[in-house]
Amino acid sequence: MQNEVISIKTITTENSGKLSFFEAERNIPFAIKRVYYIHGVANGVRRGGHAHKELWQFLFCPYGKIRILLDDGSEKSEVVLDGLPKGLIVGPGIWHDMIWLKEDSILCVAASEYYDEADYIRDYDDFIKFVRANIYDNL
């Protein structure tokens, strides 16, 4: 499975808020080498528009509302991350876009690898070729 929505464990302390956490290789299926977050984004902005060749990521939105559009080359779907304690695993070979539905929403990402521009597929035709090549490789 290349996409999965995961509930993030949350501990509520009376009158003093909530603490949410996840653990690498326990709650998400990979070790974490990098964490980044995207912030200061206006409402309606679209980012992404790429897929990864090898990278696994866990996306979560601790504040705000962000629509994640997913495309595996044959099926499209979407997930809304909205400040609730849940996150989305996005595996390799998934074209994804993120659309900000609320100003200043924060998108946090835990990633399985260090940043490597060579892992990105930023052209949709190249993405379709990649998906087809990998389907045939896996037969």
Residues 34-73 that bind ligand T46 (CB under 6 A): 34, 36, 38, 47-48, 57, 59
How many residues bind ligand T46 (CB under 6 A)? The answer is 10
CB 127 within 8 A of CB 95: yes
Sign of the C-alpha dihedral computed for residues 101, 81, 62 and 13 taken in this order: positive
To ligand T46, the closest distance from the beta carbon of 109 in angstroms equals: 5
> Which listed range, 31-39, 69-77, 78-86, 130-138, lies at the site for ligand T46 (CB under 6 A)?
31-39
State how far the Cα of 97 lies from the Cα of 116, in Å rounded to an integer: 19
Does 86 bind ligand T46 (CB under 6 A)? Our answer is no
Residue with tokens 């499209």: 76
Q: Which uninterrupted H or E stretch holds 130?
A: helix 124-138
Query: Has 96 been annotated as catalytic?
Result: no
User: What does the binding site for ligand T46 look like in residue numbers (CB under 6 A)?
Assistant: 34, 36, 38, 47-48, 57, 59, 98, 109, 115
